[in-house]
Amino acid sequence: MTANEVKQSIRNVPDYPIKGIQFKDITTALSKPECLRWMRDEMVKRYKGLGINQVVGIESRGFIIAPAVAMEIGAGFVPIRKPGKLPAETITVSYTKEYGTDSIEMHKGALNENDVVLIHDDILATGGSLMAAVELVKKAGVRKIYANCIIELEGLNGRKYLKERGVDIDCLFGIEVDE
């Protein structure tokens, strides 16, 4: 399995969630065991041995690979969810995305100053949701943060946006927005 083969298995959904957006649907790749295994294994190769003890997954597609990677590298899993989905006291960050605004939450006390964290989401577009997750994780005072996505939508400048804010991002592969 190669990055290109995984890339070819991702479908486009036009005009979702709003008109003009070309949604990159990874569920078609996730339905293929060899693609799912490749994504997990690539992330494990990149992050094993870096002292990561918590993997944070952003709702909803960040929940799919993050726990599997966490288990393989000997880390725990912490969910970041949409408002009202976590049962205990939370901390919240709001952000702007390419088609509106949103908020995400994490349980208060889920992370601490001794943690080395990998934040994972499926797609890096404009960088808003990932930057909001970084802000949540920073509020916990963690020791170090790594950030990863499966796909980078090239041309939307998410990487540049994150880099300007001091976040290093690693993506398994890139896809042109119109591809």
Write out the catalytic residue numbers.
Answer: 61, 98
92's tokens: 């919240």
Q: Which amino acid would we find at residue 82? A: K
Cβ atoms of 94 and 136 within 8 Å: the answer is: no
Helix (H) or strand (E) holding 13: strand 11-14
Using the CB atoms, write b or e for 57-69: b if 16+ within 10 Å: bbbebbbbbbbbb
Question: 């896809």: which residue's tokens?
Answer: 175
Beta partners for residue 146, in sequence order: 118
Cβ atoms of 95 and 162 within 8 Å: the answer is: no
At 120 the three-state DSSP class reads: strand
At 114 the three-state DSSP class reads: coil
Q: Give every CB contact of residue 178 below 8 A, 6+ residues apart in sequence.
A: 22
